[in-house]
Structure 1
Amino acid sequence: MTRSQHYRSRSLPFSYRENGIQFDPISYTIDGDDHTEFDLNPARTEIDLTNALPTDDDTAVAEWETLTITADLHISEEVISAVFPSGERDQPPAKLYVTIRCHETIYRDRVLVTDAPTMPGTYEISIPVKKDQVRGTVELRPYLARTRDRDGTGEYASQQNFRVASGTIYNILIDRPEDEEPPSIDGEQVSFSQTPHLPGGEKLYYLDFRNEKRPKLWINADHPRITEVLQSQGSVGAEARMRDVILDQIGYGVWQQLVVRAAAAVDDDGNPEHEWQQTVLETFARNMYDVDDLNEAIYRLRTDIESPASLPHMIQRLDEELQEYLDPREQLIKLMEEGLQI
């Protein structure tokens, strides 16, 4: 979600600002050591710290106790005016806090930033995350909530502890399952319209080969509804089905580019230049040509890439293999079944 002042209201019986709190992670420390600053683009909401947190080289067991995230939170006068009646705006009866959630360990906590009154302005907060309480991904989100009841109903929330504003959810990845390898292709969300080296128009994604050694996938944050769906964490429901279908669509184009690039990079000895190219060829080449020998499959793929006569047949083989690999039919059926229940 881009940082803008165009806040979106939820379907609630009172005024609510879903992106009324600007939430900016600044840095982190591990067990009180020196601060390390985050280098985040405005639309990036997943922070991967799996390689930053220390582990024992022999046992791969995490060797840290407390990860502390430092962040800034900003609330504008516009938001205060939107969620509190005029008589409360000088001294808003509100508390500002950040929730800490880990779905894998069913852990929930929160860190109080300010108690009532919470005035417009910028606040700094330190958010401690204990290793023995979390696993996998930790979810952080700020909220502004009333601290007392008020008489009347109408446009504004009236009961104590009703939330009246929130901010962007940040997902902090602290470790991976033992059998899960880090992604070989980096991915990040960013506004294409505000990034000079990315294509203009309404592109959904762009695979960046400026660093041929490690390509990077950019998702266009100018489409906030799509990026919201892509960030959903659930495994059931309409959003999860839509997310999987969108990922299949992006994955098809990305894999197609990677296979062609990898095949074109193979030298006369049948060896690609970079590790990711070897991985891509091992994944797809043998199935495309229905042979067991990887070297033979790579040679045939490279030959087809270079020949105008055989290139169309190679593209057809690749299309068939990607449909088998991604199986988009399964995700489309699940989405259709979900839609029929609505």
Structure 2
Amino acid sequence: MSSKSRHIARFMPYACDREGVKFRSVRAAVDGQARGELASGSLLTAGMEWRELTLAVHLELNPQILERVVHPDEMPRPPVALVLALRCREAFLSRSHRITLADPTAGLYECILAARREELRGEVAVTPYLVRTSSGTRRPGYAWRRGAWLATGEPWTVLIDEPKPRVGDNLEVLRKRFSEAQEVPPADRANWFFLQLDSGAPRLLLNEEQPEVMRALHDTSAKGRRAAVRDALYERLDAAIWPALLLYAARAWLDGEGDVSSWQENVLRLWAKRLGAPRGELEAEVQQLAERATETPASFVLEINAALQRDDQSRTARLLAEALS
């Protein structure tokens, strides 16, 4: 074990290795077109029209790690799996991909990661973890809880290239002390977030006076209770913010007969595509989306939340229930 790994192990209640998983290579494709191998920290220039980024990740796991972090009684069938944590903090993306190890002693593994363009902005990080897949017997010096990480490695990162957005193209996220924020109504100053839509461009305010929530939102854990709580908080933001943005933009679209601000048009176009607008019919779908939102707002909110659940497939709810059980 490296000196760094030994240092970390002394301060953990069980054996672990912070240098146990390494990236052999990462190859990228944009909308199915190969872009070749990318080094960590690369800048990916793909233009503004692409829809999906695919990463073919090749990992190396030193088989000797298993002997250090798994008890000898479990070595015949070690209860472990590799997990890749895909994070994009600027776009509130947090997703994990599990690689089941058919042969934990093989050492080399591959995983395909995919993300949509609207999910990515700025730095995207992929962090590998070796984790337990089931609970076991408590033994001194060994992890026994399901989800405990046994090894990790340095994150692999890529910077998504995009021109500086026009004013109003993106949701601005600010951290403020709500007790001092005049834009937040007094009755709401104990809340942890506030969506402001009357300032020209939408702004999401996060309450600095809720330190536990702020720590949870910025937690980088890949598994366990903290990861489940963080993901649940982001799902709560999605469920509240998207319907509000859409209803506001839809009313502006109809009142202005399509002459709206940049962010309002972007929100409507994004969701028209997300709900399956056929190629070449985007304008008509945007109009129908705006009409549904204003004519039957209750049904429309349910439609948007159903789409958000389809994307997540209730993963966050299951993880949270498991973590807190």
Taking structure 1 as the reference length, the TM-score comes to: 0.44
Instruction: Please identify which structure carries the higher helix content.
Output: 2
Taking structure 2 as the reference length, the TM-score comes to: 0.46
- Largest Rg, 1 or 2: 1
